[in-house]
Amino acid sequence: MKNKMLFIVLTAIGFNVQATDLNKTYFEFGYSQSDMGNRNSPQPSGIQFGFGYEFENGLYAGFNAKRQGDTIERPNYQLDVDLDENMLELGYIAYETQNGRFSVGGALGEMSFTLEDRTRDGEFYRFYTEYEHSFNQYFSAFARLGYEYFDPEQAKNDDGAWAELGLTAHLGVSSLTWKYHNGQGIDRLGLVYRYHF
């Protein structure tokens, strides 16, 4: 009898956990590091911040900015590197289930890469599909897959597939998200605190 009661209690705990509310209305602040592709390239790191809003009809919009820096050490000199990015995003939640959402979206932004006193600016465009899944009230994950086009000034254009994966721990109206971004020429890792409202 004890074993049956224990089984019933464990089953009830396992199946009655509510899914977390997947929500794109937030303020966020965090840390990220970029990798330019090889060990001799700079790996700037720094802050990122942003906000987003989800409308009742399924549309959502957001803004995200990154401010990163690094110093390249050489035997006779050192170079300071800055990487700044601003991105505006717009999307639509096309399909929603009890535990997941599928959306499509696009983003446009600008990137500025500064090496000492030389700056190279560029614009980028991204199109993507996204799936968000809530495992329970404490954890969720997302995956984005899409196409990006980067148009730097006085340099060759770069385009191709990009992907972003994330795992989120929900703490009431707050959350912590670990993100990995794999794009054209830049990979990124980030840890972000979000406040949902």
Walk me through the domains of the chain, giving residue ranges and CATH numbers: 28-196 (2.40.128.130)
Nearest-angstrom CA–CA distance, 171 and 85 = 28
Quick check: helix, strand or coil at residue 20? coil
Read off the pLDDT of residues 106-147 as tens digits, 9 standing for 90 and up: 999 999 988 877 888 999 999 999 999 999 999 999 999 999
C-beta separation of 45 from 35 below 8 A: no
pTM attached to this predicted model: 0.82
C-beta separation of 24 from 177 below 8 A: no
Nearest-angstrom CA–CA distance, 142 and 133 = 6
Q: Which helix (H) or strand (E) holds 157?
A: none
Which residue, chain included where needed, has tokens 């006193």?
A: 117
Read off the pLDDT of residues 43-88 as tens digits, 9 standing for 90 and up: 899 999 999 999 999 999 999 999 999 988 878 888 888 999 999 9
